[in-house]
Amino acid sequence: MGEGLSQNANGSLIQTAYFPRRDGSRIPYEIYTSPAIYRLEQERIFHGPVWSFVALEAELPRPFDYKSTFVGDTPVVVTRAEDGQFAAWVNRCAHRGAIVCRHARGNARTHICVYHQWSYDPRGNLRGVPFRNGVNRRAGMPADFDPVHNGLEKLRLETYGQLIFATFSDAAPPLYDYLGPQMRPGLERLARKPMAYLGCVRQYARANWKLYSENVRDPYHASLLHAFFSTFNLIRAGMRFDSVGSDDGLHTWLRYFHTEDTSGGAAYKSAQVSSFKEGLRLEDTSVLEPSREFADGMSPHIQSIFPQAVVTQIQNSLAIRQILPKGPDHFELIFHFFGYEDDPPDLRMKRIKQANLVGPAGLISMEDTLATELVRGGTAGGINPCGIVDMGLEASREDADRSDVSESHIRDFWRGYQKLMGL
Amino acid sequence: MDAVLAEMLLWFELYRLQENYIDVIDSDRLEAWPELFTADGVYEILPKENVDLGLEIGIMHCFGRPMMRDRIVSLRKANLYEPHTYRHLTSGLTYTRLDSDTIAMQSNYVVVQTLTDGESRLYQAGRYYDRVIRTDEGWRYQHKRAVYDTSRVQTLLVTPV
């Protein structure tokens, strides 16, 4: 297609966005604001050949448990059937399109649309149509109406590392291959034992979902935006760090390893980084201190599985963040916290205490949504300007992957995004 | 009659504790906020969604005054956020005596937040579940749990509710 033009599902040409470079280093701001782009993303990404994180297995421990969620902005229900297998279907009655399941979570053998009482089993199969044969044998459904072909729209569903993913697309590769050799070890690292679901918290931002997707692939900002990271040496530039991306550029795993900084943050002081607070002390440091449970010493572990999951471990706080787009200008972020079934009480307490670090009131992460909203504010109404993503542009792949200030994974994200979107 | 007066006095003291609590937050005297708790007091903010399921994760968990003071130091010096004011509205204060010096207290709260754009938005609606005890300094929170109905936190939460 030409500059900034795309063809939508109806075959019409629509104005979208033009990337002036193919290397992902120039981001046209309308990519964050355009309603046409948003619609195209729902079609080509969220209903395209990707796997979207929808739930932890541990959220649905019993047969008939269910959870309402979204794939992109399409409402989806994830269930556990009688035999323990998971299923997912669009939360839209096959009859007139009403929401069938009106609860966030629960346990139900049947799901009944309140509008006309059509009922479905946990797999989304149509089980009942009131007055199907009419009243007094008059005015029922046509004789050839077949319930088998009138169930709820089903999604493909696969699990890996106790995480449940769903896709609308027959073209999506098996989840195992979608995650690939670069991402699977990260999920395996956090899934060595049966997980226990500890609860979720939700945050809402006035910004485009991709701004958050960039944020979690961006080590450059971590110790600059978040004073807590640098001040308490949870993350400092120069600490042992590496990262890996998937071949398609869409997934990224950032890995930090605690490193003593004998200089006391000299690099931040000499660069006069204003977010570095030299005199800041905590009275109760237990919120920062890890209980050693991972032998590799990694913390944080920040792993983005495109398009809507971020798998995180920060000290003993474990969570899967789900990014849900809500129109071009809003997204919801849901932090699903987990521990393990065999957590001793003191470790479970540690996880609750360290929940203070992340989430909407997270001491180290609350600024992320602020940053996305600032970009949204600054880019509103702009005509053709671009963001610059040049850090590490001339570095070798190996150097970029080991640099905690490189923006290479953001560029990779945009290259993968452009390919999926046909932009 | 004495019993009625004693009840009125108790209600007045509990109500005044809550009014002091709201005043230190809404007037941005946050350094005084931990002082309304006992030294080992617990302050938590949790979504109703989790509490209803018996799940323990919330967005803020302070165990003891030191953690509360750390929250305020972090708010003053480390965290970045848009300047804002809170206005608390509370209603429906009820209480139950657990013993002569311990009260379980509940009330509804609404926080209206005003950001720099000057718009005032309903930021959070919820319910306080408090356990307060009589100390030499007066009634203090031993445990205060703010359970919010509002499912999503808009942008971020840095100031206690």
Structure-token pair, residue A232:
């308490």
Asked if A199 and B56 count as a contact pair (C-beta separation under 8 A), the reply is yes
Residue A177: which residues within 8 A CB-CB, separation 6 or more? none
What would the mean pLDDT of A382-400 be, rounded to a whole number?
Answer: 88
Mean pLDDT within A55-72: 98
In a mutational test of the B interface, the residue from A330, A351, A356 whose CB has the highest number of chain B CBs within 10 Å is A356
Chain B (20-79) residues lying within 8 Å, Cβ to Cβ, of chain A: 45, 47, 49-50, 53, 55-64, 66-67, 69-71, 73-74, 77-79
CA angle A408, A409, A415 (to 5 degrees): 95
Tell me what ipTM this predicted complex has: 0.96
CA distance A244 to A409: 8
Rounded to the nearest angstrom, the minimum Cα separation between A170 and chain B is 33
Mean pLDDT of the region B28-56: 98
In this prediction, residues A318-326 reach a mean pLDDT of 98
Q: Quick one: average pLDDT of A380-393?
A: 85
Buried b / exposed e over A223-256, threshold 16 CB at 10 Å, is bbbbbbbbbbbbbbbbbebebbbbebbbbbbbbb
Average pLDDT for A164-180: 98
CA distance A181 to A176: 9
Among chain A residues, the shortest Cα distance to B59 is held by A361
pLDDT tens-place string over residues A263-313: 878 887 887 777 777 778 889 988 988 888 999 999 999 999 999 999 999
Q: Rounded distance, CA B143 to CA A184, Å? A: 43
Contact status, residue B57 vs residue A348, Cβ threshold 8 Å:
no
| Cβ–Cβ contact A221 with B under 8 A | no
Class at the top of the CATH hierarchy for domain B2-148:
alpha beta
Top-confidence residue, A378 or A77: A77
Task: Name the nearest CA neighbour of B142 among B64, B77, B87.
Answer: B64
A359 contacts chain B (CB < 8 A): yes
Tally helices (H) and strands (E) across chain A. 10, 21
Q: How far is CA A199 from CA A20, A142, A189, A202, B132, in A?
A: 43, 46, 21, 10, 27
Q: What are the extents of the domains in chain B?
A: 2-148
- Minimum distance, in Å, between the CA of residue B114 and any CA atom of chain A: 16
pLDDT band at A21 (very low <50, low <70, confident <90, very high): very high
Which helix (H) or strand (E) element contains residue B111?
strand B102-114
Any chain B CB within 8 A of the CB of A201?
yes
Q: CB distance A201–B67 less than 8 Å?
A: no
Mean pLDDT across B137-147: 97
The per-residue pLDDT for range B83-133, each reduced to its tens digit, is: 999 999 999 999 999 999 999 999 999 999 999 999 999 999 999 999 999
Provide the token pair at A272.
């006069």
Contact status, residue A351 vs residue A226, Cβ threshold 8 Å: no
Region for A43 from its dihedrals, namely left if φ exceeds 0, alpha if ψ lies in -120 to 50, beta otherwise: alpha
Q: What is the mean pLDDT of residues A128-139?
A: 92
